[in-house]
Amino acid sequence: MKSSKLAMAAIVLWVATVAAFGWFFVRGNTAAGTDDRTAIVLAPQERDLILLEMRGLLIATHDILDGINQNNMQQVAQAARTVGMNSAADVNPVLMSKLPLPFKAQGMGVHHSMDDLAIAAESGQTAPELLKMLTGTLSSCVACHSAWQLKVADSSK
């Protein structure tokens, strides 16, 4: 009888732990933003890392547009691939737990679409088709920046 109570307590504790982890995985570490956006609260180095990644996406977008303009599909593919899914492969799990699920989904979608763009450039898609794909990717960027802001956690608490 005692062992069944202990087993039941262990199961309840396990379920509570999984539920709490799931809640934080979905919600992330968020707060009300200073405007109509939701703030994602991060340590300074975590915020810097995400901003660095965003700058990398912006640089790659420039290089993709430059490649399309010069009809250099190898440049387009190379620039897109640098910010594809491989660039997001080894993100710190602690940082990922602080990001809300919709933010993570949009970010991974952008990385995946860059891989798709690289494949399209390599397979001979036309410049208008590549521009259409890039416009769709940039729509995700605009939506993300419209919904979220990155805030440094108050370290005085």
CA distances from 62 to 5, 39, 66, 75, 128 (A): 62, 27, 6, 11, 16
> What whole-number distance in Å separates Cα of residue 155 and Cα of residue 137?
35
Q: How far is CA 93 from the centre of its chain?
A: 13
**Model confidence at 80: pLDDT above 90:** yes
The pLDDT score that the predictor gives to residue 120 is: 98
pLDDT digit string, tens, across residues 3-16: 777 666 666 565 55
The confidence score (pLDDT) of residue 84 equals 96
Band (157; pLDDT cuts 50, 70, 90): low
pLDDT at 21 over 70: no
pLDDT value at residue 39? 96
Q: What domains lie within the chain, and their CATH numbers?
A: 2-152 (1.20.120)
Q: Amino acid identity, residue 84?
A: G
Q: Could you tell me how many residues make up the chain?
A: 157
